[in-house]
Amino acid sequence: MDGAAAGEGGRLRIGIAASAAMRSSEVSPLFGLLRDFAPFLSSSAVALHAVGATCDAILASGLLAGNPPARLRPAREGGVITLTSMVVPDAEGRAALDFVIYLIDPVDPIGVFPEMQALKRQCVVHGRPFLTNRGAASEWCALVWNGMAGIDRTGLAAQLARWVRPEATATETIGLIAHDTQKPVMLDFARRHHALLSRFGRRLATGTTGGLLNGTVPARLRAETATLLPLLPPAVPGWTTAFQSGPRGGDAQIAEEVLEGRCRRLIFFEDPHVAREHEADIQLLERATRFAPDGCLCINDTASAEFWTSGFGALVQG
């Protein structure tokens, strides 16, 4: 990732934690992730920082004996606050973490604690992926691993086939969502990556964003037509399936697609600087990604989206 070589001797820096249910046994998501990606996570090119009990569980498993994580304080003693602080760049623009994996049990109340909301928000503000389910963490780790030279690639092909599945793109669905201030950003993103996004069998969007992606400026944005028109992707009627707007239930409609396993990826450009009147709907959609059968990758910032398109696109076109 961009900036991955900025700290700890050029090592990729990953924050990791898991709810109790996500690390409760050898078959739990945390240990499945560690086994799948042991050659990558055990590499000297990677530095792990694990919250309290998660660190203890990793050490006890012996799965990363060659590269044990640094232990942060337990979540009950502010470990998530420490993770949040590590996402924020210092005065020289360097953050202590490149991305965060927090495998959250959907029924764990920590998901609504203020420190967890702050962690997610700071990841969005500073362009750091916040990966909250095994599917999302696995796809991200596979793409990062694939893009790093000098690391043992044993098992990489199997993980790319299992979690990224580039050969199945034409049968898969991607969701495209953007808050009002981020709609020009989404249009520019979709225009520049139109060919890649067009490889998906379906594209879903909430109301206004879907209309824009299909080439139509809705009435409520007519005053911004001069700004939006140059950003519109090539007009292809029906290119995106547009649901209701987010405040009118579109987030819930897409959440159902995620729950049913029909949508494994969301690009959801959020504005972290404004209050959202339908915050509950946004959190509902995020929670759905943790209930989904194989998980769902949700990307919330442009830097992470650009990294994903680069890594995923190279595999699809290759």
Q: How many CB atoms lie within 10 A of CB 75?
A: 24
Give the Cα separation of 158 and 162 in Å (integer).
6
> Residue type at 274?
V
Q: Would you say 1 and 307 are in contact if contact means Cβ atoms under 8 Å apart?
A: yes
In sequence order, what E strands does the chain have? Answer: 12-18, 46-51, 70-72, 99-103, 130-131, 173-178, 202-205, 241-242, 265-269, 297-299
User: How distant, in Å, are the alpha carbons of 216, 217, 224, 225 from that of 220?
Assistant: 11, 8, 9, 10
* String of DSSP letters for 105-137: -TT-GGGGSHHHHHHHHHHHHTT--EE-SHHHH
- Catalytic status, residue 2: no
Query: What SS3 class is residue 264?
Result: coil
Give backbone dihedrals phi and psi of 252, rounded to 5 degrees, phi first. -65, -35
Which residue in 251, 281, 294, 301 is the catalytic one? 251
Residues recognised as catalytic: 251
